Amino acid sequence: MILDIDMGNTRGKWRLRTAGVIHQRGVLDIKVGVAAGLQDFYFKANLAEYKIEKILISSVLDAERNAQLSLFFKEKMAIVVCFAKSTASWNHLKNGYDHPEKLGVDRWLAMIAAVHENHGACIVVDCGTAITVDAIDAEGNHCGGYIAPGFGALHQALFNTTLIPPVQTAYSHSSAPGLNTSAAIGNARLAMLSGLIVEAERALLAKSNGSQLLLMATGGDAIQVQRIRPDALLKPELVLDGLALFFETSDQVEDCKER
């Protein structure tokens, strides 16, 4: 039994699996703090009822909170957790960063899962607290990406000033210019997302000799991608899938160290 965790800054996704079977999945909330969030997760998921042998983690948390993660599972379950890390390459996928280890591990794992499923050129979009867009060519070269504020952060930034009164906005289904203030704000979010994807595609097409591009979307707001691009393939567990693939490589397991 393996516990996979994709940990963001305030919440994470998790799943319990054996070979080819997902037994449980859910959300782990740490807005109340890492220790309290993990304790709540431990009891609600009934982890004590399972014979868990490995805990694999993708985490964007800082070193202090990662240490709290490690300590919790060591004390509660006597398991040393394994943290994934960004590497220079994985199979035929090549990290495009000047310093590969500085690429966000969640982005790296999402790309691993994407190239495992699709052997051609692709764009990977992760819509969460931040929006990330990464381009991978048909040869498995990571051609770079974009990082932008997520929809929630964009909304907060716009109204975090006394100069603009708060306006109630719903999620939009259009990127066209809005004909009222609410639509103008809501549609702008999709227009910005569309622009990021278009620019990534333009850069990738120049390197892909006209090969077809696949668009994959993950994250809490992934459905927004499909609203502007119906051809987008939604993959809610793309990072978790990449996490599992990353640790299937024996040397990564051997390099796994407690934080």
Give the residue numbers marked as catalytic. 106
132 is in an annotated binding site: no
Give kind and range of the element (H or E) at residue 135: strand 130-136
Is 125 labeled as ligand-binding? no
Residue 216, annotated ligand binder? no
Choose among 73, 1, 3: nearest CA to 37. 73
Residue 235 assigned as binding residue: no
How far apart (Å, rounded) are the C-alpha atoms in residues 74 and 169? 44
Q: What's the CA gap between 226 and 220, in Å, rounded?
A: 13
Selection from 77, 123, 82 nearest residue 105 by Cα: 82
Is 140 assigned to a binding site? no
Distance CA 173, CA 55 (A): 39
Say if residue 6 carries a ligand binding annotation.
yes
- Known binding residue 7? Answer is yes
**C-alpha distances in angstroms, 129 versus 103, 155, 252?**
16, 12, 28
What is residue 60's three-state secondary structure?
A: coil
User: Does residue 12 have a known ligand-binding role?
Assistant: yes
Distance CA 49, CA 164 (A): 52
Alpha helices (H) along the chain: 34-44, 63-77, 105-117, 151-159, 181-205, 222-228, 238-246, 250-255
Annotated binding-site residue? 8: yes
Find out whether 105 is annotated in a ligand binding site: yes
Contact 151, 224 (CB under 8 A): yes
Q: Is 29 annotated as a binding residue?
A: no
For CA atoms 64, 154, 171, 103, the dihedral sign is: negative
Residue 218 marked as a ligand binder: no
Strand partners for 27: 13
Binding-site annotation, residues for K(+): 126
Q: Which residues are annotated as a binding site for substrate?
A: 97, 104-107, 181
* Binding annotation for ATP: 6-13, 129
Residues tagged in the binding site annotation: 6-13, 97, 104-107, 126, 129, 181
